[in-house]
Amino acid sequence: MAEPDVEVTSEMVEDLLRGEALEEAVNLIASIHPADQAELFTRLEQDLRPSFLALLSAEGMAHLLEHLEPEERQEVVEEMPRASLARVLDRIDNDVAADILRELPPSEAARVISTMTTAGDVAPLLEHADESAGGLMTRGFVALHGDMSAQDAINYMRLIRPNVEEAYYLYVMDAANHLQGVVSLRELVVAAPDTPLRDVMESDVISVGPERDQEEVARLVQHYRLRALPVVDEERHLLGIATMDDAMDVVADEATEDMYRMAGLPAEESVYDPVMVSARRRLPWLIVNLGAAFVAAGVVSRFVDTIKDVVALAVFMPIVAGQGGNAGIQTITLVVRQMALGEVTPPDAWRVFRKELAMGVLKGIVMGLIVGVIAWVWWDNAWLGLVVGAAMLLNMLVAGFWGAVIPLGLRRLRLDPAIASGIFLTTFTDVMGFLILLGLATLMIDQLT
Amino acid sequence: MAEPDVEVTSEMVEDLLRGEALEEAVNLIASIHPADQAELFTRLEQDLRPSFLALLSAEGMAHLLEHLEPEERQEVVEEMPRASLARVLDRIDNDVAADILRELPPSEAARVISTMTTAGDVAPLLEHADESAGGLMTRGFVALHGDMSAQDAINYMRLIRPNVEEAYYLYVMDAANHLQGVVSLRELVVAAPDTPLRDVMESDVISVGPERDQEEVARLVQHYRLRALPVVDEERHLLGIATMDDAMDVVADEATEDMYRMAGLPAEESVYDPVMVSARRRLPWLIVNLGAAFVAAGVVSRFVDTIKDVVALAVFMPIVAGQGGNAGIQTITLVVRQMALGEVTPPDAWRVFRKELAMGVLKGIVMGLIVGVIAWVWWDNAWLGLVVGAAMLLNMLVAGFWGAVIPLGLRRLRLDPAIASGIFLTTFTDVMGFLILLGLATLMIDQLT
């Protein structure tokens, strides 16, 4: 496998399934990595998905579920007989098994768990919220006691042959089972055989509580470049570990969520969803936006007499409002993203606000001058240039002010700064843009006509 | 270190530096993780940065550079005497050392390398472009021969005590030094001591060539959940490995870049940059946008007589154009992000295009009806409702069409789909929105007045 298997396409599998060439289909699917099976499954026509799933063993199904996106995973699970579900969940990474059980109705989840052989590892994970450290963690780790020697630890590993997600770090416990330190397999292997683990371990272990938000967990993993972050309770009992690959998924998912939220899309939206499903998701946001647009239109409608007298205003309205929106989107995108990356925290709010307001002044002076001079020359009217330029300048201030205040304020209210930030902002820049331009023009109507 | 050190703030360090309490400053800085030192350094007032750097040893400086963002890292390097730079680079991960040298003028880089003791590992990395697999990879790996036994391998590790970035995977070579397979330390430890590595290794190794784009490398690491991805030349000599933590940075950086590009911000923009620096970066994009806005304004200016006659059009202009922009931004955000995530590839273009055009029709019917009916009732004019509703419908089609075509087309031209997508789109939806609304109104001017 020098290169990933891009050559097996969903069309090839579809042809085999439609032609009932099941043995060939099984062989073709088995020849590719489960991650590629999952991608292929996502692209498969809806009506062929059951036949695809019927070809998989419990083991194969477990690997497929590990690599599917949550939404599609849950669709597959819902169609599965409950008896085979328990057998599949026994073969799956226990953090994924917990994610699946969390989505089932509680009574059904309880029934499935009661027949699982891995219930002891999976059940404790269910206590935690999906998007918390506890919801992210796995129990696939090796824990040893600190008085064990390096050679004993190696012998123990040979004995139990742990098949766990994270086998590079061994967690070292004290007599009362509190997390004391961590030792890597590398350190274990190069240590003198009779050294106790306590003497080779790193005791400065960064850890988090189970209720910590998964976004923060991902940020810690990335910031400190950790392969795995232990999750401990208040007495430092090791509850589980959050691994780097899960953190990487969180980083990608949270970025997608922020981008989609700013555009009014739900995080699970896909170009492969049926049109009606996407329409139900995307239209509500457009309709909310329409409400905001009518507020701005209402402002314009109060000034129709001014527009009739100075029709050039209709030409400059979209420029003043639109450029305010563009400038504000720069600020809001920057603040939202830098908050997500942990580079802007609540104590930085005042500093960020001052900076973006200063940017508004600067952008306003430059853009106001350009737009004002063009308006003056184009319509051969200095007063029009003055009104348009002043409106542009003031709307840039509005953009800088709200571009910083909206995301910082949403965070202060413990809401996601990305959610609908853009719509609030463009409503403000539209309403204020129209109000300032048309209001100034009305005040100076004698000079303009 | 149960929790990360959030309690040491840049203000505390600033106070110590201003008060010349250098010993206390050194102790305070040494008490925190290098990743936190880097974050603190970023927030420090510009004039105190040299005093901060003066407190660090070569070792401390190396750790700081490893954790700084590229732009700030390069600022620090430029101020550093070239003699101490070589000593620092010898202590740094060799992929980071290569990144630093790549940014120096070639003659200077050559002079620095010639005095480095790690030149043998760093120099080969410099052949590759920064954003390629070769530019991302490190030479910090352990390679062994396939006929070595598991116990020999452990003894060898004890002997050389490798201090490498990726010490969990050992790469297995054949006699001609071609990559043959990979074995994890876990497998090594649990294997019977006299088994040759060839019998415990995984020989199905996913690898890439050095010229592969780093975004694709990150996607492979995430897709297959790899800790490290070997980079090999055409004869499968192992050139280096790309590690998961680097891939995680790429995932975050590329998401930031896409978000910033869509808003017209450069990837290195920070809320902590001085106002004048940010202004120089953000204004050009606003000015380009202004050019596009004037194209739209030019369209409006051709219709001033129609607007004078039917001033209600000025009220609905921003709604028709703005909602088209919002709908198109939904499409473009979705397509850009799903391309970045590898979920939309060139062969999917036609399918995506059809879907988004169908979405345009659906959004158009719903929004056209709502806006048309409101226009009719508000201005008590059925013909106005018809014109506004039809313009809304048609502009939604424009939005769906260009929302899909622009990013797919940019990718086809081998350009980044995120770059300036939004500005092209809103130019189209503004120009077409005004043209359709005002054009239809001009055609039906007798019914409207």
The pLDDT value recorded for residue B5 is 47
Quote the minimal CA–CA distance from A371 to chain B in Å: 8
- Domain B142-247: homologous superfamily in CATH: CBS-domain (3.10.580.10)
Model pLDDT for residues B5-63, shown as the tens digit of each residue: 457 888 888 889 888 888 888 888 888 899 999 988 988 888 889 889 989 999 999 99
Q: Are A371 and A391 in contact (CB under 8 A)?
A: no
Q: Are A352 and A408 in contact (CB under 8 A)?
A: yes
Q: What is the CA radius of gyration of chain A?
A: 30
Substitution target in B5, B219, B334 with the highest count of A β-carbons within 10 Å is B334
Q: Which residues of A touch B418 (CB under 8 A)?
A: none
Q: Are B112 and B79 in contact (CB under 8 A)?
A: no
Q: 């061994």: which residue's tokens?
A: A170
Q: Which residues of B touch A133 (CB under 8 A)?
A: none
CA–CA gap between residue A178 and residue A139 (Å, rounded): 16
Name the residue of chain B whose CA is nearest to A374's CA: B294
Model pLDDT for residues B118-149, shown as the tens digit of each residue: 898 899 999 898 889 999 999 888 999 999 99
Q: What is the location of CATH 1.10.357.20 in chain B?
A: 275-448
Q: Which residues of A touch B287 (CB under 8 A)?
A: 367, 370
Quote the minimal CA–CA distance from B341 to chain A in Å: 8
Q: Are B134 and B211 in contact (CB under 8 A)?
A: yes
Distance in Å from the first CA to the final CA of chain A: 76
The pLDDT value recorded for residue A291 is 93
Q: Are B439 and B280 in contact (CB under 8 A)?
A: no
Q: Which residues of B touch A248 (CB under 8 A)?
A: 221-222, 244, 247-248, 251
pLDDT above 90: percentage of residues in chain B: 60
Contact B334 A3 (CB under 8 A): no
Distances (CA, A) of A366 to A28, A369, A377: 62, 5, 17
Residue length, chain A? 449
Quote the minimal CA–CA distance from B116 to chain A in Å: 26
The pLDDT value recorded for residue A9 is 82
Residue length, chain B? 449
- The mean pLDDT value of chain B amounts to 90
Substitution target in B213, B225, B442 with the highest count of A β-carbons within 10 Å is B225
Substitution target in A45, A295, A315 with the highest count of B β-carbons within 10 Å is A315
The pLDDT value recorded for residue A158 is 86
Q: Where residue B218 falls among pLDDT bands split at 50, 70, 90?
A: very high
Q: Where residue B162 falls among pLDDT bands split at 50, 70, 90?
A: confident
**How many CB atoms are located within 10 Å of the residue B432 CB?**
24
The pLDDT value recorded for residue B1 is 41
Q: Which two tokens stand for residue A341?
A: 């990356």
Q: What is the location of CATH 1.25.60.10 in chain A?
A: 10-127
Please state which CATH number belongs to domain A10-127: 1.25.60.10
Q: In this predicted model, which residue has the larger pLDDT, B346 or B356? A: B356
* A208, A259, A275 member nearest B355 (Cβ): A275
Per-residue DSSP letter, A264: T
* A4, A251, A271 member nearest B220 (Cβ): A4
Helix (H) or strand (E) holding A41: helix A34-43
Distances (CA, A) of A81 to A77, A86, A432: 8, 9, 58
Q: Which two tokens stand for residue B366?
A: 């719903």
Model pLDDT for residues B63-87, shown as the tens digit of each residue: 999 999 888 899 899 888 888 899 9
**B332 has pLDDT over 90:** yes
Phi and psi at residue A436, to the nearest 5°:
-65, -50
Contact B189 A318 (CB under 8 A): no
Q: Are B388 and B437 in contact (CB under 8 A)?
A: yes
- The mean pLDDT value of chain A amounts to 90
Contact A314 B333 (CB under 8 A): no
Of B225, B360, B411, give the one whose Cα is nearest residue A38: B225
CA–CA gap between residue A100 and residue A109 (Å, rounded): 9
Contact B338 A371 (CB under 8 A): no
pTM: 0.86
The pLDDT value recorded for residue B375 is 96
Please state which CATH number belongs to domain A142-260: 3.10.580.10
Q: A18 Cβ partners below 8 Å, 6+ apart?
A: A48
Contact B255 A260 (CB under 8 A): no
Classify each residue of B174-211 as buried b or exposed e, where b means 16 or more C-beta atoms within 10 Å of its C-beta. eeeeebbbbbbbbbbbbbeeeebbbebbeeebbbbebe
Q: Which two tokens stand for residue A189?
A: 């292997």
Contact A282 B255 (CB under 8 A): no
Q: What is the location of CATH 3.10.580.10 in chain A?
A: 142-260
Q: Where residue B306 falls among pLDDT bands split at 50, 70, 90?
A: very high
Contact A290 B225 (CB under 8 A): no
Q: Which residues of A touch B290 (CB under 8 A)?
A: 319, 323, 367, 370-371
Name the residue of chain A whose CA is nearest to B205's CA: A1
Q: Which residues of A touch B185 (CB under 8 A)?
A: 167-168, 185-186, 189
Q: B57 Cβ partners below 8 Å, 6+ apart?
A: none
Q: Which residues of A touch B343 (CB under 8 A)?
A: 42, 270-272
Q: Which residues of B touch A426 (CB under 8 A)?
A: 322
Contact B329 A263 (CB under 8 A): yes
Contact A333 B260 (CB under 8 A): yes
Q: So what's the ipTM on this one?
A: 0.85
Of A403, A410, A407, A405, give the one whose Cα is nearest residue A429: A403
Of A139, A110, A111, A141, give the one whose Cα is nearest residue A124: A139
Q: Are B392 and B326 in contact (CB under 8 A)?
A: no
Q: What is the assigned CATH class of domain A275-448?
A: mainly alpha
Q: B105 Cβ partners below 8 Å, 6+ apart?
A: none
Q: How many interface pairs between A and B have CB atoms less than 8 angstroms apart?
A: 329
pLDDT tens track of chain A, all 449 residues?
A: 444 445 788 888 888 988 888 888 888 888 889 999 998 898 888 888 988 998 999 999 999 999 998 888 998 998 888 888 999 999 998 889 999 999 999 899 999 999 999 898 899 899 898 889 999 999 888 999 999 999 999 888 888 887 776 778 899 999 888 999 999 888 888 888 899 999 999 998 999 999 999 999 999 999 998 989 999 999 999 999 999 999 999 999 999 999 998 888 888 888 888 899 899 999 998 999 999 999 999 999 999 999 999 999 999 999 999 999 999 999 999 999 999 888 888 888 999 999 999 999 999 999 999 999 999 999 999 999 999 999 999 999 999 999 999 999 998 998 888 876 777 888 899 999 999 999 999 999 999 98
Contact B185 A190 (CB under 8 A): no
Contact A318 B307 (CB under 8 A): no
Name the residue of chain A whose CA is nearest to B169's CA: A168
Q: Are B132 and B208 in contact (CB under 8 A)?
A: no
Contact B4 A206 (CB under 8 A): yes
* A263, A296, A327 member nearest B318 (Cβ): A296
Mean pLDDT, to the nearest integer, of B173-177?
A: 90
CA–CA gap between residue A125 and residue A130 (Å, rounded): 9
Q: What is the location of CATH 3.10.580.10 in chain B?
A: 142-247
**B220 has pLDDT over 90:** yes
Contact A343 B308 (CB under 8 A): no
CA–CA gap between residue B336 and residue B346 (Å, rounded): 12
CA–CA gap between residue B406 and residue B419 (Å, rounded): 10
The pLDDT value recorded for residue B268 is 83
**B436 has pLDDT over 50:** yes
Q: Are A337 and B266 in contact (CB under 8 A)?
A: no
